Amino acid sequence: MPAVRLGHLIVEPDRHCLVDTGTAHRITPREMAVLVYLMEQAPNVVSREEMLETVWEDVVVNDEALTLVISRLRAVMADNPRAPRFIETIPKKGYRLMVEPVMEESMKRATVPKRTGRVLVAVLTLLLIVMTALFTIVRIAYEQVGP
């Protein structure tokens, strides 16, 4: 799955990380699976039972496992459960992602470390060396021919 913008965060599912203003925060594969599922279902409410059946599939866990994952996601996202900006708890129903995820191909390119500066410097340096060599060759040839 390509990178997704979620408010001011960039979610990178393949790397299991959230990027917040240039700082990458690693999360577990299970935490990423819960977040991705919430993004896929947004803005709908997802019940705890549905989340446990879908994300944990054949593993038997209690509700506490989901509670811990949601708590950890909120901590990484700096989200307050009393005044949520990302994950809202709907009492007796489940959870809802409050921010619409924006899936853009350009986001994937934006999160890859940029090396264009180094490449540009290398190309310009190579061009300068070639131009200097050509100038030197022409100058030597001109001096041999004479006035």
The full DSSP string for the chain is ---EEETTEEEEGGGTEEEETTEEEE--HHHHHHHHHHHHHTTSEE-HHHHHHHHSTT----HHHHHHHHHHHHHHHT-BTTB-SSEEEETTTEEEE-S--EE-HHHHHHHSPP-HHHHHHHHHHHHHHHHHHHHHHHHHHHHHH--
What digits encode the pLDDT tens for the residues 85-113? 999 999 999 999 998 888 755 544 444 45
* Tens of each residue's pLDDT in the chain, 147 residues: 788 898 889 999 999 999 988 889 999 999 999 999 999 998 999 999 999 999 998 888 888 999 999 999 999 999 999 999 999 999 999 999 998 888 755 544 444 455 567 777 888 898 899 999 998 988 888 888 766
pLDDT of residue 110: 47
pLDDT of residue 115: 56
pLDDT of residue 145: 77
pTM: 0.68
pLDDT of residue 40: 93
